[in-house]
Structure 1
């Protein structure tokens, strides 16, 4: 943790990666505005929280502002795509929408790294923190695979489309089975939470909705397991 407005501003200017900034929701004035502006400039999410939340971090002299240092170095999405293409490889990206369980995120990262995913794309809000526990659960994969944090998954899909990348959304009621999809093209796979699935508006901008066949009807598969099934089908098609 980094405590205090000045310390956080210094950290941002020095290039230190921050996971997010917690601001007292009663804080007002030019200093608060300056932190908000800097956070937007460096792409760091700001959470407005009550004073009790800040006290729970057990960090003294914070002056209403605490930042959490990132364990993951976030990458620029376009830079990753360009790097992959320049290497002569076919892009494969994974988008996580609303997945909050860090055990699932860790498991997904392990499988993604093993299956040759070039980057994981996450939103700046509504996703589990990529903290020490997530990295431990991933067996270190989150320190290997690039992670791109974006302020809008919808805009990220637009950027993927502009780069000629087809976006598939995993949706258990979709009529198209993963075995009938062509994953040899530049592709991104969207995985949603087990409870809510992929956000409806995000589904609409994806190119195809795909499903995993099941012998018996059930509410849903574990999202980490489902991701593994899809990624191994992608790997099988690309390696044949």
Structure 2
């Protein structure tokens, strides 16, 4: 069975206890019944979806009362605490921000590489990102349980915080003038990877300290985002090891 909780009281308690809730499903005929709960959820940046009663058919054996919450399969790390711990260490830390990665298999592959390259934290936005669900965890070969994964309301806030902490923000984009092998990665750095469809959002791109690209010599003008991410992380690791 999916990792869920059900019923008005249980979902309310989960919200009060700040549990990692991916989404709340509410019978669309019962909108008014859960108004206060819905308002609280949205303040907490928890997604709420009103769905047809048929969506609850498979839960008929449960006393769901028309409301179900999908709970995260992992425990997310606290963003600020994780950053401060990483920066307090002797070696320069590496962070990874994912902007619009919606394919769970790409996310899983990225998490696997992040764990293998000692990334201090993978940072995801609460909205517009693939879930760290069972498929992502399987693709990660279990790395999702080992690497620090943080959720933030807005990636911009994470960027501000990292920059104010002395971390250089580097965006991966084919529009960059310099390639990754010409970029100094020996200090604390955070890489921003965008979606394959639209890349890094323009409002985030404007905030970055640098951008870098991967040289492409063939006719295809882009790499799968998980492959590109792996190349960035291993070039970063190589430079830090050779420092």
**Fold conserved (TM > 0.5)?**
yes
1:115 counterpart (114, 117, 131): 117
Corresponding residue number in structure 1 for 2:99: 97
1:126 deviates by 1.1
1:27 deviates by 4.2
1:226 deviates by 0.3
Q: 1:194 to 1:52 in 2, by over 3 A?
A: farther
1:20 deviates by 2.6
- TM-score, L = length of structure 2: 0.89
1:18 counterpart (17, 21, 25): 21
**What is the aligned-residue RMSD (CA, Å)?**
2.0
Q: 1:29 to 1:226 in 2, by over 3 A?
A: same
Instruction: Report the more deviating stretch, 44-53 or 113-122.
Output: 44-53
Contact 1:18 1:44 (C-alpha < 8 Å) held by counterparts: no
Rounded to whole Å, the distance in 2 between the matches of 1:138 and 1:125 is 21
- TM-score, L = length of structure 1: 0.90
SS in 1 for 2:156: helix
1:159 deviates by 1.1
Contact 2:56 2:66 (C-alpha < 8 Å) held by counterparts: no
Contact 1:165 1:188 (C-alpha < 8 Å) held by counterparts: yes
Corresponding residue number in structure 1 for 2:215: 213
Q: 1:74 to 1:39 in 2, by over 3 A?
A: farther
Contact 2:108 2:140 (C-alpha < 8 Å) held by counterparts: yes
Corresponding residue number in structure 2 for 1:55: 56
Contact 1:19 1:44 (C-alpha < 8 Å) held by counterparts: no
How many residues are treated as equivalent by the alignment?
Answer: 238
1:225 deviates by 0.4
1:105 deviates by 0.6
1:149 counterpart (134, 151, 174): 151
Corresponding residue number in structure 2 for 1:171: 173
